[in-house]
Amino acid sequence: MKLSELVNYRNQVLALSVDTMISTTQQELAKIDFLVTQFDVVDTAVKQNLDTCHRDLTQALASTQMCLDKIKQQVEQQVVEKSREYFQESTTRYEATINNRDVQQPEYITLDRHLPIKLPESGAQFLKDRLGTYAGWKYPGMIIHPGQESFVDVMVANDPLYLVDDRHELLQPCLQRFNEQFRNRLCQYVITETLDEGEILKPLPNNQFGLILVYNYLNFRPYEVVKRYLKELYAKLRPGGMLILTINDCDRSPGVMLAEQKWCYYTPLNLILDYARSLEFTVVFTWTDGGASTWIELKKSGQLESIRGGQTMAKIIPKIEKPKIDTMPETKESIVPIADLRNQVLALNQYDPNLIRYGFSRQKLEAILDSHGKKNSIKPVAKSK
C-alpha cells in the first residue's frame, strides 16, 4: 500500500468515534429507566435484569471505544514508519536540486513556477479578504515568490513592500504589473539556499515586517528546509506580526500523492504546526479547498505596534499618452473660424470635448462637419486696414 493510500485510510479511521453512539444510548436508557420505575407495574426481578443489561451495554460501548483507539494508534504508527523513506527521498531530491542549480537553464527553473495556481473564484477572493485584514501602510510587508499571483495587489498597501525570490527573473512577472515609478519603490531581494545551516534570509532586516506572505514556495521545499524558513521568518517579523504561508499538506492524501509523483516534497501539516508553536508562533487559522495545499496563518508573540502617524496619499496609475496636438500656427484670419468649427463639432455631442479642443486639427474638424452635412459657412474675419 502506498503512503497516500495509507494516509487516506488513516484519516477515515480517525474520523470514526462511538461518542455519539454512547451519548444517544445513554439518553435512551434514561428514558427507559424513567418509564419503568415511574409506576409499580414491573416486577423487581425484571427491573434488576434491566439494570444489568444497561451496565453491560455501557461497558460494551466503552470497550468498543478502547478497541477503536488501539486501531487508530496502530494505523498511525504504520504511517510514521512508512514516512521515514519519504522524508529521506525528499531530502535526497532537494540536495540534488541544489547541487545541480548552477547548470540548470533559467527557462527550466521558471517554466512551471511562473504559472499561477488556479483557485475557484470564491476561494481566491476569500484568501484575498483574509490577507487584506493584515495588510496596511503602517508596517513593511514581504512576499517571497510573488510570481503572477494577484495577492500582490492586496499587499501594495504595505509600505515599503519587499519582493523576494531565489532568482531575479522570477520577480519579473510581478514587477511587470506596475509602472516604472512604483517599481522603483519596491525593495527587490534575491536569496540563496545552501545545504549548510547558513542563514537564507540574512540580507533582510530583523524585527521589521508586519506581514509576510510565502505562497506556493515552501510547497517545493522539504520539511527540514521549511523549518529553517520558519525560524528565520520569525526573526524577520516584528512582535505581533503575521506570517502567512502555504505548504504541501501531507497529512492528506492529495499532498502525499504529489510527493510520490516527485512534484512536491513530503511535509506533514501537524509536524509543521508543532514546530511553529515551539517557536512561539500562534496558529491563527488554516484553510484548504480540498486539494494538496493548505493556507496557514501564524502570529508572532507580542503586540504589533507602529510609530507612524500617517502616510502621503497617492496612487500609482499607468501612464496615459496624450493625444497629439495640432501645432500648425494659426493666422489672424483663422483664429475665430477654428473656434467656431470646434463649437459646431461640440454641438454634435459625439466626440470627447478635450479631444475636440486640443486634438483635432482644422482639417479634421471640417471633415467631421462635412460628414454630417454641416459644412462650415463662417468666413474668416477680415484684416483691419
Averages of pLDDT over runs of 10 residues in the chain (385 residues) are 95 91 88 84 85 90 92 96 96 91 55 61 87 92 91 91 91 88 90 90 94 94 96 97 97 96 95 97 94 95 82 56 53 58 81 73 81 60 47
CA–CA dist 100, 103 (Å, integer): 6
At residue 317, the pLDDT reads: 55
Q: Which residues contact 61 (CB under 8 A, 6 or more apart)?
A: 18, 21, 22, 25
CA–CA dist 192, 205 (Å, integer): 16
With CA atoms as reference, report the closest residue to 205 among 243, 162, 165, 172: 162
3-state helix, strand, coil in the chain (%, to 5): 50, 10, 40
CA–CA dist 210, 240 (Å, integer): 7
CA distances from 93 to 89, 98, 261, 264 (A): 6, 9, 12, 10
Cα radius of gyration (the chain): 35
321, 359 in Cβ contact below 8 A? no
* Residue 204: count of CB within 10 angstroms of its CB: 21
CA–CA dist 95, 248 (Å, integer): 18
293-300, strands of its sheet edge to edge: 187-190, 161-165, 141-144, 209-214, 237-248, 293-300, 281-287
